């Protein structure tokens, strides 16, 4: 039995080195609402459906207190809905400058396809947001076989439904012949809940959070510390393996396939 498919995340995994677009949009909408949030607060829930992401931020004790002081009442569902309505155009605008494929993605995907792998994707973005990324990615040489958004299934991450829908469309089973690759803890949870192997992306993803230029300008010892922190977080979330980027995943897939031949399961 061989591996049959890979399910990729988008921001921080396939595109947008450092997963900067969601952060920029979140910082903007909260600042406009009079309650600026900090970078770690914006990144804490990365990977979940964006409306849920905003709701989770509003529940953070510091944010909830700051909101209550500025607006004279605790944040409500109406507030969350209003923030989300502001987030949608802001995020679409941010994507225009954060749609570049991460180095190595087209090459690795082409090699996987040559080996017979099916290529699926999941995301925390809405369909209009993902459609924009799909069009931009196609111009750069990457087109998945299928993609799923949270609003197309009963629930987004960490629920496994987006992975399930990919598997059905791609006609790949059993699910332990598939691998979920992403850059956030909730990506790992999604893959595990679907019964798939998981690979956590460190250097290009949310846990490090640097653009390619920022990464290259970072001293080596600091790079090491950042990657170690990302590895710790993703392994704690259940990642079977970690890699700096998608470009380094093919050898890991070989290792997973060898384990499958020996009877191992995720």
Please answer whether residues 26 and 87 qualify as being in contact, where contact means their C-beta atoms are separated by less than 8 angstroms. yes
Please state, in angstroms and as integers, the Cα–Cα distance from residue 124 to each residue in 52, 156, 240, following that order.
9, 7, 22
Helices marked H in 47-193 — which ranges? 50-59, 61-71, 77-95, 105-114, 127-139, 161-170, 185-193
Residue 2: closest CA among 174, 213, 217, 207: 174
Q: Which of 9, 16, 79, 187 is catalytic?
A: 9
Residue 145 among the catalytic residues: no
Between CA 172 and CA 226 the distance in angstroms is: 35
Please state, in angstroms and as integers, the Cα–Cα distance from residue 127 to each residue in 28, 133, 135, 137, following that order.
21, 10, 12, 15
Residue 179: closest CA among 157, 198, 160: 198
Between CA 147 and CA 115 the distance in angstroms is: 20
Burial of 34 (0-12, 13-18, 19+ CB in 10 A): exposed
State both tokens at 240. 């079977």
Please answer whether residues 230 and 205 qualify as being in contact, where contact means their C-beta atoms are separated by less than 8 angstroms. yes
Q: Which of 2, 4, 16, 50 is catalytic?
A: 50
| Residue 265 half-sphere exposure toward CB, CA atoms < 13 A | 5
Within 10 angstroms of residue 211's Cβ, the number of other Cβ atoms is: 16
State both tokens at 170. 């791609």
Residue 72 among the catalytic residues: no
Catalytic residues: 9, 50
């Amino acid at each position: 039995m061989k591996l049959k498919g890979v399910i990729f995340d988008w921001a921080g995994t396939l595109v947008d080195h450092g997963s900067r677009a969601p952060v920029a949009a979140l910082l903007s909408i909260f600042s406009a609402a009079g309650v600026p949030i900090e970078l770690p607060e914006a990144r804490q829930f990365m990977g979940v459906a964006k409306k849920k992401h905003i709701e989770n931020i509003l529940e953070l004790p510091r944010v909830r207190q700051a909101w209550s002081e500025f607006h004279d009442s605790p944040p409500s569902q109406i507030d969350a809905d209003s923030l989300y309505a502001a987030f949608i155009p802001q995020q679409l605008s941010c994507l225009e400058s954060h749609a570049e494929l991460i180095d190595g993605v087209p090459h690795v995907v082409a090699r996987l396809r040559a080996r017979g792998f099916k290529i699926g994707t999941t995301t925390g973005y809405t369909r209009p947001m993902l459609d924009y990324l799909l069009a931009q990615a196609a111009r750069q040489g990457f087109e998945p076989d299928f993609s799923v958004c949270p609003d197309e299934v009963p629930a987004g991450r960490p629920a496994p439904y987006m992975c399930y829908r990919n598997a059905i469309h791609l006609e790949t089973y059993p699910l332990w012949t598939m691998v979920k690759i992403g850059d956030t803890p909730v990506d790992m949870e999604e893959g595990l809940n679907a019964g798939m192997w998981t690979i956590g992306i460190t250097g290009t993803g949310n846990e490090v959070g640097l653009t390619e230029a920022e990464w290259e300008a970072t001293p080596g010892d600091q790079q090491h510390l950042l990657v170690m922190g990302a590895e710790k977080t993703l392994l704690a979330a259940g990642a079977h393996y970690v890699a700096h980027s998608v470009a380094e995943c093919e050898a890991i897939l070989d290792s997973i396939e060898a384990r499958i031949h020996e009877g191992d399961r995720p």
